């Protein structure tokens, strides 16, 4: 009997508020599906959201799940390459600046990852409606390691403006 590796379900957050965010996210989802050793599994609806700890125009956000044989740092490298391809600029000393594209690794199965470049689960995902609402759309019973059910955190984000975009 051969040994089989089962890839964990990886959850990615997508966001943009500069340029044409809706077009950018739709395009980058196709690109994510073409990453090496990676399969796009599910995509949430798109949401228009007010900036949180940021400035600029409203964001368009979504969540997707992938299965990948890439290591976490390798996937992060691929995602940052896509961000750069779409004109992402990281101004020195400015956190959460407006952006043409933001791709975050939110969850890696039930694993906890803590390196200088990558922290999973994403440390603030349980505080953000723009993550929780689309996440619970595609994974209603999702558990955030160390935090519990994602759906249980939604009530705490009720003051954050978010609306589903009709497509």
pLDDT at 33 over 50: yes
Mean pLDDT of the chain: 91
Q: Give the number of other Cβ atoms within 10 Å of residue 78's Cβ.
A: 19
Residue 133 falls in the annotated catalytic set: no
Residue 104 falls in the annotated catalytic set: yes
Q: What is the pLDDT of residue 123?
A: 95
Q: Is residue 68 part of a domain?
A: yes
Catalytic residue among 53, 77, 90, 102: 102
Q: What is the pLDDT of residue 152?
A: 96
Q: What is the pLDDT of residue 1?
A: 42
The count of structural domains within the chain is 1
Measured CA distances, 62 to 11, 26, 114, 146 (Å): 11, 10, 24, 23
d(CA 85, CA 103): 12
State the burial class of residue 45 (Cβ atoms within 10 Å of its Cβ: 0-12, 13-18, 19+): middle
Selected residue with higher pLDDT from 52 and 5: 52
Q: Is residue 153 part of a domain?
A: yes
Q: Is residue 3 part of a domain?
A: no
Q: Is residue 2 part of a domain?
A: no
Q: What DSSP state is assigned to residue 87?
A: T
112-151: pLDDT as tens digits: 999 999 999 999 999 999 999 999 999 999 999 999 999 9
Domain that holds residue 108: 9-164
pLDDT at 35 over 90: yes
| 98 pLDDT tier (thresholds 50, 70, 90) | confident
Q: Is residue 157 part of a domain?
A: yes
Q: What is the pLDDT of residue 92?
A: 65
Q: Is residue 116 part of a domain?
A: yes
Q: Is residue 151 part of a domain?
A: yes
> Pick from 103, 145, 141, 140: which is nearest to 123 by CA?
145
Residue 137 falls in the annotated catalytic set: no
Q: Is residue 146 part of a domain?
A: yes
CATH number of the domain within which 17 lies: 3.30.70.560
Catalytic residue among 104, 128, 137, 149: 104
Catalytic residue among 99, 124, 133, 152: 99
Q: What is the pLDDT of residue 88?
A: 73
Residue 117 falls in the annotated catalytic set: no
């Amino acid at each position: 009997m051969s040994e089989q590796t089962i890839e964990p379900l990886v959850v990615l957050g997508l966001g943009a508020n500069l340029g044409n965010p809706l077009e950018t996210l739709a395009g980058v989802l196709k690109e994510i599906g073409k990453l090496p050793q990676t399969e796009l599994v599910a995509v949430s609806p798109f949401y228009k959201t007010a900036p949180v700890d940021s400035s600029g125009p409203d964001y368009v956000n979504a969540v997707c799940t992938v299965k990948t044989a890439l290591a976490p740092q390798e996937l992060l490298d691929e995602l940052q390459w896509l961000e750069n391809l779409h004109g992402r600029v990281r101004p020195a000393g400015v956190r959460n600046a407006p952006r043409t594209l933001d791709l975050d690794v939110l969850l890696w199965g039930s694993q906890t990852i803590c390196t200088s470049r990558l922290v999973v689960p994403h440390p603030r995902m349980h505080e953000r409606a723009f993550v929780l609402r689309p996440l619970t759309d595609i994974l209603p019973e999702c558990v955030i390691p160390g935090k519990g059910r994602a759906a249980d955190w939604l009530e705490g984000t009720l003051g954050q403006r978010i609306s589903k975009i009709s497509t």
